Structures are given as structure tokens and as C-alpha cells.
Amino acid sequence: MSELIVVSGPPGAGKSTVARLLAEKYAPSALVVGDAFFGFLRTGYVEPWLAEAATQNETVLRAAATAVNAYVTGGYATIYDGVVGPWMIGAFAQAANVPRLHYVVLLPTVECCVERALARSEDSLRDADAIRQLHREFAAAEFDPRHVLRSDDDPTEQLQLAIQNGSLLYRGP
């Protein structure tokens, strides 16, 4: 059985960059991009940051976690890049159903997140108010602080060491 590493945080936190760099450090590896699962929805889509998207988001998260399970049990170190807030990590872990899950929340400053997100392509979330809202939700969430990296700089090396020493292992609620 291989490792599962969940790289989370608000938009603009650096999840995709860090997840891609981590995936390159393992062989074999799989990089599962959580946002891709929203693309499977055809009708009834609700912007994920809105309160009325809760059921949709739970469904998408379970679908992604099920896919993650296939890669992990198939022998791939699997890096999941997606918005998995502390309020959802338990459901994600249950649906992924793997023995070891490393969980990290990248949480640079809100200004850094907004700046990075607004500099992206047009198909990304570019609503500064929504980005600030998601950042507030992560910042206000109650969970073990060892899972949070607050740097505006690239934390990839620090993250890899934390994974190796097991300090980011998710142990449940």
C-alpha cells in the first residue's frame, strides 16, 4: 500500500504547485486534481464556495476519494490536490479508505492567495471575495495546527520532511 498525501487550502495557496512537485518526488506516483471532478457535473452545478453547494461538494469529494483509493491500493504514491477543509477531511478519509493519509493545509496570507489566484488563467476562480471567504473558513477552522503550513514561500521541502517523519498523518477527529 502506498502513501496518500492530501494537499489542501484556499484558492491561491499553492496547492497545485506543491502537489505537482511532491508527485515528482515519488515513483510511481499519481496526481489527482480535485477540481477535475467538478467537471463531470453536467446540470445543477452550484459554485462550490456557496452554502447551497454542500451536498454537491460532498458528492464530488466522495467521488474523488474513491478514485484516490484505486491509485493508492494500486501501489501509487497519490497526491490529492484539492480544497478539503478540516470540516471535510474526515469524510474524505472515510471514502478514501486507506490506512495512511497525510494531510496538509497550505495557508499563506490572504493577500498572497488573492494575488496568486487573480494572476491565473480565466478558467480559474478569480472572485476575490470568494477567495477571501474560503481563506477565512480555513483560518477559522478548528483542527490540529500541525497540519497547517502558513508560509508564503514554497514549502515543498518542509512538507516532504514532515511526510517522511509522519508528523502530518491524519488520525481522525
The predicted structure's pLDDT at residue 42? 95
Mean pLDDT (10-residue bins), the chain, 173 residues: 91 92 94 96 92 95 97 97 94 95 95 88 75 93 88 78 90 78
Q: What is the pLDDT of residue 124?
A: 66
pLDDT for position 122: 63
| Amino acid letter, 23 | A
Residues 6+ apart with CB under 8 A from 5: 19, 22, 77, 78, 79, 80, 101, 102, 104, 163, 168
pLDDT at residue 106, rounded to an integer: 94
Structural domains of the chain, with CATH: 4-164 (3.40.50.300)
Q: What does each C-alpha distance from 54 to 43, 83, 154 come to in angstroms?
A: 16, 13, 31
